[in-house]
Structure 1
Amino acid sequence: MINRVLIRLKIVQIIYAYYQNGGKNLDTAEKELFFSLSKAYDLYNYLLLLMVEVTRYAAKRIDAAKHKLAPTKEDLSPNMKFVENRFIAQLESNVQLNEFMASQKRTWENESEFVKGLCEQIMQSDIYKEYMASETSSYDEDRELWRKLYKKMVFNNQALDDVLEDQSLYWNDDKEIVDTFVLKTIKRFDPKNGEKQELLPEFKDEEDQDFARRLFRRSILNADYYRHLISENSRNWDLNRVAVMDMVIMQIALAEILSFPNIPISVSLNEYVEIAKLYSTPKSGAFINGTLDGIVKQLKKDNKLTKN
């Protein structure tokens, strides 16, 4: 699940914090990097559980209506289509998701007000109303309902962002990327796989773990060389006035460009320019792009840069 976009973001965050804290312990910072990546995977599982918890709340709501002092005919014979959603039933029984709950002791039980609000918001939506009114019923329709609801109700949900921020500072910048993984997981679910449906793994393979470790270490261990290159190609700038974050981003970008011959230069440049737009000043993207482009041209001219 953890891809290189997320790895790059985390490395920028951790190396920036490393320098802000005096740059004393590389091993501790590396452990912090992998811990922060593991927290992103926790968020992935936690957001999958949210869909289950909303459905459970809807079921409790139906049960409570049946036991009112004067239940209506609709209360006694409710439309059970939403609470009996086959995709959610499969997700609820998923072995990996239940192992996550058991090991992390993490549920939505302490966020009942948010779950209630989200459920009510869903029930007022046109997506929900059209689904409940449909005369057809299939697993595909059940799964598609939650794909639509997730995109509409969970993406860009400020109340949810506030809940997640209260639970973990690591999740502040993760959700937008993790949301894409949740949607990918919804799409991958197949009823034939039952409770053994595979969720996305924490790392796709060992290569991505190695990428994270090598990029992190080389960014710091070769910092003097990278800063020399930046200085040589920024002669019209006083480096003391360059934003610290800009220096960190360029340092990591150069580590990637020089250490990973299989990654195209254009990919690396684009990734770090986008990170600059997120984490630094409005002019940082253009400055970083221009500086790195100049360094790359000089390295190629000096035959110091080899790319497959």
Structure 2
Amino acid sequence: MAYAHYQKGEVSIQQTENELFHSIAKSHEMYHAFLLLLLELKNFAENRIELRKQKKRPSEEDLNPNMRFVENGFLMQLAGNEALMAYNAKSGSPWTDQPETIKALFNLVAESEMYTEYMTTEAGDYEADKRFVAKLLEKVIAPFENLYSYFEEQSVYWNDEIEFVISMVVKTIKGFAEENGEKEALLPEFKDDEDRDFVERLCRKALVNQKDYMDLIKKFTKNWDFDRVAYLDVVLMQVAIAEIVEFKNIPINVSLNEYIEIAKYYSTNKSGVFINGVLDKISEHLIAEKIINKPGKVNKV
């Protein structure tokens, strides 16, 4: 958000806010796309079983196929999920016109050691079925390169968000409860209005107070060659300071730990330690100057 704003130059804060919310909406679309992709793989497997039964001379295996994957407890529950079906009815599946992608991905899945082991071991319980699907998504489906090409063609926002969205889908899978049946809730775009307001306010405060926050960062990186500091690290620290200053109910360590993890993920290998050290000093300064007075002890990494 802030990074893109500064990179684009002459862009209004309102334009950046609009783009931020559009990006979040696209990520929520991708979240549903991955859930629907799991169902496409299930449907492909079911259709293949039926086609094999219709052979002129079906084999014993064709007539009595291994149904473990298509009868996976989690996938069967997902197939009836009211929220996902409502989304599909309204927005449609992004995989409708991608039969070759689905076929190639299913072949990859079917050839994987994980799938073979699952299909050849005794059927487990619902929790085992969930663990299998979550692991399959992370280890086999997510690395499939054709998906990245497809997502890139569909939206410029999607490729950078894939790993985060997959983590949200895995969280959803692990959170499903068999007793909830078709009523199981999916993750919303925002938890509530307060969550949406937080995003909007954080974005605006980080951009409006950019100069003040930059001065703080420069003050506490005076022993560094500032021009060599990763630009993304600087932007992340600006947003982190905005959160520390503006949101009184969020403990300091919660904010810092969040941005340290983001830096480790999106920036350089050393960014987490660097950002932790600088934000630690800035937080102590803000407390000493009585600019902030809030709970939370700065953690070291």
State the TM-score bracket (shorter-chain normalisation): 0.7 to 0.9
SS across alignment from 1:204 = coil
Q: 2:299 — aligned with what?
A: none
Aligned CA-pair RMSD: 2.6
Correspondence 1:36 to 2:28: no
Distance apart, 1:246 and its partner CA: 3.0
1:141 Cα deviation from its structure 2 partner: 4.6
Identify if the C-alpha distance between structure 1 residues 85 and 18 changes in structure 2 by more than 3 Å, giving closer, same or farther: same
Offset from partner CA, 1:131-153 (integer Å, 9 cap, x none): 43445465445444323422332
1:221 to 199, 205, 208: 208
Q: Does the Cα contact within 8 Å between 2:39 and 2:79 map onto a contact in 1?
A: yes
Whole-Å separation in 1 of the counterparts to 2:28 and 2:174: 18
- Tell which deviates more after alignment, 67-76 or 222-231: 67-76
**Is 1:84–2:71 an aligned residue pair?**
yes
Contact kept in structure 2, 1:101 and 1:107, CA below 8 Å:
no
Q: Do residues 172 (structure 1) and 159 (structure 2) align?
A: yes
Map of 1:293 onto structure 2: 280
Question: TM-score, structure 1 length as denominator?
Answer: 0.84
**2:90 match:** 103
Deviates more, 1:115-124 or 1:282-291: 282-291
- Using the TM superposition, give the Cα deviation of residue 249 of structure 1 relative to its aligned residue in structure 2, in angstroms: 1.7
Instruction: Give the superposition deviation at 1:85.
Output: 3.1
Give the aligned residue type for 2:58.
P
Aligned-partner SS, 2:97: helix
Measure the CA separation in 2 of the matches of 1:139 and 1:86: 5
Report the secondary structure of 1:291's partner residue: helix
CA drift of 1:36 comes to 0.8
Could you tell me how far apart the structure 2 residues matched to 1:286 and 1:126 are?
38
Q: Sort the Cα spacing of 1:57 and 1:225 in 2 relative to 1 into closer, same or farther, 3 A.
A: same
Residue 39 of structure 2 corresponds to which residue in structure 1? Answer: 52
Instruction: Give the aligned partner of residue 252 of structure 2.
Output: 265
**1:102-181 maps to which residues of 2 (within 5 A)?**
102-136=89-123, 138-181=125-168
The 1-side partners of 2:288 and 2:71 are apart by: 65
- 1:275 partner letter: I
- Name the residue aligned to 1:192: 179
1:219–1:252 contact (8 Å) kept in structure 2? yes
Partner SS for 1:226: helix
AA aligned to 1:111 is Q
**Range with greater deviation from structure 2 (245-254 or 149-158):** 149-158
Q: Judging changes above 3 Å, is the alpha-carbon distance between structure 1 residues 286 and 67 closer, same or farther for their aligned structure 2 residues?
A: same
1:208 to 195, 198, 221: 195
Gapped runs of 5+ residues in structure 1?
A: 1-13
How many pairs align? Answer: 295
If asked which structure has higher relative contact order (CA below 8 Å, sep 6+), I would say: 1
What's the offset of the Cα at 1:234? Answer: 3.1
In the other structure, the counterpart of 2:298 is: none
Amino acid at match of 1:185: T
From the superposition, tell whether residues 263 and 38 of structure 1 become closer, same or farther in structure 2 (CA, over 3 Å). Answer: same
Find the aligned partners of 1:118 and 1:194 in 2 and give their Cα distance. Answer: 27
Is 1:183 aligned with 2:173? no
Cα distance change, pair 232–101 in 1 and its aligned pair in 2 (3 A): same
CA contact (8 A) 1:257 1:268 kept: yes
User: Are 2:58 and 1:71 aligned?
Assistant: yes
Q: Are the structure 2 counterparts of residues 277 and 197 from structure 1 closer, same or farther at C-alpha, using a change threshold of 3 Å?
A: closer
Q: From the superposition, tell whether residues 111 and 16 of structure 1 become closer, same or farther in structure 2 (CA, over 3 Å).
A: same
Contact 1:227–1:251 at 8 Å: present in 2 too? yes
**Change over 3 Å in CA distance of 1:154–1:240 after alignment to 2:** same
User: Normalization by structure 2: what TM-score?
Assistant: 0.85
Deviates more, 1:218-227 or 1:233-242: 233-242
**Cα distance per residue 1:124-171 (max 9 Å; x no partner):** 334433443445465445444323422332344444333333322222
Q: CA deviation at 1:283?
A: 4.9
1:138–1:267 Cα change, 3 Å:
closer
- Does the Cα contact within 8 Å between 2:17 and 2:200 map onto a contact in 1? yes
